[in-house]
Amino acid sequence: MDERTQSGVSTFNKVLAVLVILGAITWGLIGLFKWNLVAAMFGGDAQPAEGSHLCQLVYILVGLAGVAFAFTFPWRKRTAG
């Protein structure tokens, strides 16, 4: 699962990074403007608790991505080779 692309970063880590960035932007927009980016993208009310099932799935994926990201990148030391 650690296949590296030409840039040296695995596809898995790129997906994690996108989800973590999506989560960070969403929380920033909620904090600043009380506007929910995920709900706007995937349907549902502006309140996370009242969002669609797809919104809930995105929140779960973003949360899991944050945990996985913390364990894999950028603190992971690279090995030579």
Tokens of 6: 């030409």
The domain ranges of the chain are 33-71
pLDDT single digits (tens) 34-62: 888 878 887 766 555 556 778 778 778 88
The dihedrals phi and psi of 34, each to the nearest 5 degrees, come to 55, 40
Query: Percent of the chain, pLDDT > 70?
Result: 70
Query: Cα(2)–Cα(37) distance, rounded to whole angstroms?
Result: 30
pLDDT single digits (tens) 10-34: 888 888 888 888 888 888 888 788 8
From the list 60, 25, 29, 62, the residue with the least C-alpha distance to 46 is 29
Contacts of 15 (CB under 8 A, 6+ apart): 65
